[in-house]
Amino acid sequence: MFELQKVSLDYGGTLALKEMDLSLGAGEQVCLIGPSGAGKTSLLGLLNGRVFPTSGRVSVNGEDLTSLSSKSLRQVRSRIAWVPQDLGLVPNLRVNQNIACGRVAAKGTFGLLRSFLAMGKGERDEIHQLLVRMGIGEKLYERTDHLSGGQQQRVAVARALFQKPRAILADEPVSAIDPERAKDLIELLTTVAREEGLTLVASLHDVSLAQRYFDRVIGLRSGEVVFDGKASDEGLEKLYRLGA
C-alpha cells in the first residue's frame, strides 16, 4: 500500500530520513520503534502526505503523492486515518462531534458543521455503535475533556474508524497512559485493524508491546532503517538499547 523509494527528508539542514527504501503492504500491521529523533514521526508524516520528501518518491497504492493535485491528495488522505500523539481531539466538543470530525476530508467544513448542528439518526447510530465497540457507548454526548485519558484514546480510535479508512497511522498512541491501558489500547488497535482488513502502522517506544502485538517491526535510528523483521527475532531488544 505504501512505498518509499530513495526518500530523504531535510528540515533546514537536519536530515530526518536518509535515502530510505521501504514497502508496506495492504493489511500489514507494522510497528516502528527507535529512540526520540530516530525519524518515526517524520516517516508517518510522509505516509500521510502531511510532509513531502526533499528527494525520492512516496507512493500510496501506486500514486506518487508529490504529483497529485490538492483535490486528489485530499481524496487519498481521506482514506488514511491519523492518530497523533496528542490525539487531536477538540476538548470542549462532545464525543459524537469529535468522532464526526473523522469525515471532514470527505464532507468538507460545511458538511461537518451541518453534522454538528443537526446530526442525522443514521450517523448518530453509527457513531454510537463504534463507541459500543470501544467499550464506552454511554459516553456519546459527554464533553471530551470530561473523559479519562484512556477513554479519550478510545474516542480517537473510534474517530479513525468512522473515517472508513484503508490504513491507520498512529504516532505514539500510548505515550500518556499507564502500561495496562497501553496494552489494552494496542490490543484494540491491532484487533480492529485485523477485523477490518486495515493497514496499521504505529510508532512505539515499548519493545515488549511491539513483540507481543506486531508481526513486523521496523527499527529506526538516525533516519535509517536498521532492523526490519519478525518481532521475535533475536537482537531486537539489543537494537533498541543501542539506539537509546
Mean pLDDT of 13-31: 95
Instruction: Give a yes or no: residue 121 inside a domain.
Output: yes
Instruction: Give a yes or no: residue 225 inside a domain.
Output: no
Instruction: Give a yes or no: residue 130 inside a domain.
Output: yes
pLDDT for residue 105 is more than 70: no
pLDDT for residue 91 is more than 90: yes
Do residues 37 and 45 lie in contact, with contact meaning Cβ atoms separated by under 8 Å? Answer: no
pLDDT for residue 240 is more than 60: no
What's the chain's average pLDDT? Answer: 88
Mention every residue, 6+ apart, whose C-beta is less than 8 A from residue 156.
83, 87, 88, 89, 173
Q: How many Å apart are CA 97 and CA 51, to the nearest integer?
A: 27
Instruction: Give a yes or no: residue 119 inside a domain.
Output: yes
Instruction: Give a yes or no: residue 18 inside a domain.
Output: no
Confidence of residue 243 (pLDDT cuts 50, 70, 90): very low
Instruction: Give a yes or no: residue 3 inside a domain.
Output: no
Q: What is the 3-state secondary structure (H, E, C) of the chain?
A: CEEEEEEEEEECCEEEEEEEEEEECCCCEEEEECCCCCCHHHHHHHHCCCCCCCEEEEEECCEEHHHCCHHHHHHHHCCEEEECCCCCCCCCCEHHHHHHHHHHHHHHHHHHHHHHHCCCHHHHHHHHHHHHHHCCHHHCCCEHHHCCHHHHHHHHHHHHHHCCCCEEEEECCCCCCCHHHHHHHHHHHHHHHHHHCCEEEEEECCHHHHHHHCCEEEEEECCEEEEEEECCCCCHHHHHHHHC
Amino acid found at 169:
L
Residue 230's nearest CA partner among 239, 221, 243 is: 239
Q: How many Å apart are CA 57 and CA 238, to the nearest integer?
A: 31
Mean pLDDT of 51-58: 95
Domain count, the chain: 1
* Residue carrying C-alpha cell 502485538: 213
Instruction: Give a yes or no: residue 151 inside a domain.
Output: yes
Residue 94 belongs to domain spanning = 89-164
Residue percentage of the chain with pLDDT more than 70:
89
Mean pLDDT of 2-18: 93
pLDDT on residue 164? 93
Q: Which residue has the higher pLDDT, 115 or 14?
A: 14
Mean pLDDT of 119-123: 85
pLDDT on residue 85? 81
Confidence of residue 131 (pLDDT cuts 50, 70, 90): very high
pLDDT on residue 237? 59
Instruction: Give a yes or no: residue 143 inside a domain.
Output: yes
pLDDT on residue 111? 62
Mean pLDDT of 1-14: 93
Q: How many Å apart are CA 97 and CA 93, to the nearest integer?
A: 6
Do residues 167 and 81 lie in contact, with contact meaning Cβ atoms separated by under 8 Å? Answer: yes
- Residues 151-193 have pLDDT tens digits of 998 999 999 999 999 999 999 888 767 788 888 889 989 999 9
First-last CA distance in the chain: 30
